[in-house]
Amino acid sequence: MPEENPLLTGDIATVLRKQSIPMAIGAVCMILVNLIDTYWASQLGTDELAALSFTFPVIGILINVSIGLMIGTSVAIARVIGSGHIEEAKNLATHAIYLGFMIVGFVSFIGLISQEYLFAWLGADEKVLPHITSFMTIWYASSIFLIVPMMINGVLRAKGDARTPMIVMMMGAVFNGIFDPIFIFTLDMGLEGAAWATTLSRALTMLYASYILIVREKLFDLHIPSPKQMIESWKVVLRVGVPASITNVLGPVATAMLTAIVATHGSAAVAAYGIGARVESLVLIAPLALSSGLSPFIGQNWGAHLEDRVAKGFQLALNFSILWGLGAFLILLALAPQIAVVFSEDKAVQEAITLYLRVVPIGFASYGAMLMVNSSFNAMDHAFRSSVLSVLRSIVFAVPLAWVGSHFLALEGVFLGLACGSFFSVLIGIRWMRNLLSNTLHDHGESKKEISEEIAYLITHTCKECTARMHSLIDEMLKLEKVSLHKVRSDAVGFFVESRQLGHIHPSGHVDLPLPMELGQVLVKNKKVTHHRLHEDNGWFTHELHNNEDIDIALWLLELSHAIYEVRTRGLCDDLTQQEIAHLNLSKEENEALMKVVRRIRAFKAA
């Protein structure tokens, strides 16, 4: 039997802290690389600092594309390893790295030939543009050293190794800190030296990560695959990688627009914007790391039907992020001038940095709360809402408000627009989240007539050979206590008991269910489900729908989810609960896992 899962039974504050610390260490290392570059560039002068600030959104787009590919690689390989197919995992890892080469290479080539036009559009003037192109030419040419370690980190995370990726990121930060002053000042290479320092740092981390992948883990097989093999592997990676990349890229795209607005106020303003954003990233590491740790906590407890625990964990994270944001605002309000002096001797830049660090942090509490809301939505399989909130914050609110603010209040108005973007979007997000966690989200007893639209959607979008069996599934589910149907997104229908979603069907291909992790792992082993394509460790599982037999298994899974709900509300000893469990004909291993869930539910209620 699986060991006791601390995410489901441990003290909530302790669990979230332990989940967040490794992420915080890794994030510090990544942010330090940028902050170190920014600091040393600031010693060169305002034009060089402004040049580096112009590069941040463009570099951010490439990095976030790479992160999306890393996520897709990690999820895909984790599933294969979980199924025991190590050779397939090796091939998939190899093909994924090939894919990373191709995509980042193509994007870098386009960036290389268009950089002068792009940065001129962003507002770079003739004094700053040569510094940008000299830096970015080296950066684009060395992008291979960025993508390979990230893809390898994704493979290692898929094996459950979070320590080695953390070491890789720490090495990059340490090397960059050592090489920057040597290349920039000792070798007198200026901003080009910063690019070469980053290149060498990443090359060394790539060598270390490659050694781990090839020698220690033996998960790389240099070969030329057939086009069919390559395409099949790439499909698996891109199924998760593309949505993740698109969502991640929204931030840098918004940053590019904001940089163009800031640039209308001069190079000093752009330089200050770049420094302020780096300091902001460092200050907000704690809520960022907590949002990462919150996701598996919310997902697994939601799947385990521990809604009260979900609500407590979310509220705890929300309170922490708001308090952290308010504390950071007060500290930066007092220390902004001192921080500005560290990064620049130019009075205009110092004044703009001080302005940034006194105005933008007004929105830190809102931004931290936004991170918690987005993380929770992702964990509960409402990623669309998370994406909508990200678009609202960055594109819909922040950019237009910054543009309006720029016209009426100059640079201060731009920074106020940034702060307000988080505030307005998080109000919407928290309201959505409260509704999702409340018991009034859905009516309790809808008739078949009232849900005819949902039934029609499921039937018309199911293959003709399976429509009769889908009808049967719907009829059987509606016989269960309090079950109703609701559209949960544009292409899926969910089965609900009150506000609790038992699962939802995408009739074009699969059923997704939140299940207790220990029970879900047994079902994965028994090949009744696989881990969710987007939520590997968050308590969501998937079953593909290709034929009538698959629909029968989908019905069994939904009935199992309903039985767990009955255990939580009626108790194991209730006659109706016993009838539902007996009807499932669970295997010995499945029944043992269910009993473990029952014991945990009882313990939580007793507490």
Three state DSSP letters for 428-471? HHHHHHHHHHCCCCCCCCCCCCCCHHHHHHHHHCCCHHHHHHHH
Tens-place pLDDT, residues 168-199: 888 888 898 899 999 999 999 999 999 999 99
pLDDT in the model for residue 448 = 41
pLDDT in the model for residue 451 = 56
Q: What is the DSSP letter of 547?
A: S
pLDDT in the model for residue 445 = 42
Largest Cα–Cα distance of the chain, in whole Å?
Answer: 81
Q: How confident is the model at residue 130 (pLDDT cuts 50, 70, 90)?
A: very high
Q: How confident is the model at residue 607 (pLDDT cuts 50, 70, 90)?
A: low
511 three-class SS = strand
The rounded distance, in Å, linking the Cα atoms of 577 and 570 is: 7
pLDDT at 160 over 70: no
Which of 365-369, 461-465, 595-599 tops mean pLDDT?
365-369
Average pLDDT over residues 399-415: 96
Stated pTM of the model = 0.76
Q: How confident is the model at residue 439 (pLDDT cuts 50, 70, 90)?
A: very low
pLDDT at 22 over 90: no
Structure tokens at 590: 């499945």
Angle of the 267-283 helix axis to the 46-82 helix axis, nearest 10: 40
- Among the residue ranges 160-164, 357-361, 443-447, 595-599, the one predicted with the least confidence is 443-447
Q: How far apart are the first and last CA of the chain?
A: 24
pLDDT in the model for residue 340 = 95
The rounded distance, in Å, linking the Cα atoms of 203 and 179 is: 12
Break the chain down into helix, strand, coil percent, rounded to 5. Answer: 75, 5, 15
pLDDT in the model for residue 229 = 82
pLDDT at 535 over 70: no
pLDDT in the model for residue 119 = 94
pLDDT in the model for residue 208 = 94
Q: What is the CA radius of gyration of the chain?
A: 26
Sequence-distant (6+) residues with CB within 8 A of 171 are 201, 204, 205, 208
- Among the residue ranges 13-27, 153-167, 273-287, 440-454, the one predicted with the least confidence is 440-454
pLDDT at 449 over 80: no
pLDDT in the model for residue 84 = 65
Total residues belonging to the chain: 607
Q: What angle do CA 316, 318, 322 make, to 5 degrees?
A: 120
pLDDT in the model for residue 2 = 44
Q: How confident is the model at residue 385 (pLDDT cuts 50, 70, 90)?
A: confident
Phi, psi of 508 (to 5 degrees): -80, -10
Q: How confident is the model at residue 79 (pLDDT cuts 50, 70, 90)?
A: low
User: CATH number of 452-606: 1.20.1290, 3.40.1440, 3.30.70, 3.90.1150?
Assistant: 3.90.1150
Tens-place pLDDT, residues 305-329: 777 888 899 999 999 999 999 999 9
The rounded distance, in Å, linking the Cα atoms of 440 and 347 is: 56
pLDDT in the model for residue 508 = 65
pLDDT in the model for residue 440 = 35
pLDDT in the model for residue 591 = 92
The rounded distance, in Å, linking the Cα atoms of 214 and 207 is: 10
Sequence-distant (6+) residues with CB within 8 A of 212 are 152, 156, 164
The sign of the torsion formed by the CA atoms of 135, 140, 142, 146 equals positive
The rounded distance, in Å, linking the Cα atoms of 263 and 268 is: 9
Average pLDDT over residues 574-602: 90
Contact 55, 198 (CB under 8 A): no
Bigger pLDDT: 204 vs 530: 204
pLDDT at 454 over 70: yes
The rounded distance, in Å, linking the Cα atoms of 318 and 455 is: 37
- Provide the Cα torsion 8, 10, 16, 20; round to 10°: -100
pLDDT at 592 over 50: yes
The rounded distance, in Å, linking the Cα atoms of 92 and 307 is: 37
Contact 349, 268 (CB under 8 A): yes
The rounded distance, in Å, linking the Cα atoms of 137 and 89 is: 35
Tens-place pLDDT, residues 330-357: 999 999 999 999 998 899 999 999 999 9
pLDDT in the model for residue 83 = 58
Q: How confident is the model at residue 534 (pLDDT cuts 50, 70, 90)?
A: low
Contact 223, 97 (CB under 8 A): no
Sequence-distant (6+) residues with CB within 8 A of 232 are none
Q: What is the mean pLDDT of the chain?
A: 86
pLDDT at 444 over 50: no
pLDDT in the model for residue 5 = 65
| Domain boundaries along the sequence of the chain | 43-248, 264-438, 452-606
Report percent pLDDT > 90 for the chain: 39
Contact 172, 33 (CB under 8 A): yes
pLDDT in the model for residue 537 = 59
pLDDT in the model for residue 570 = 86
The rounded distance, in Å, linking the Cα atoms of 271 and 118 is: 18
Average pLDDT over residues 547-564: 91
Sequence-distant (6+) residues with CB within 8 A of 291 are 317, 321, 371, 372, 374, 375
Report how far apart, in Å, the C-alpha atoms of 513 and of each of 299, 385, 474, 541 are.
11, 18, 16, 5
The amino acid sitting at 294 is L
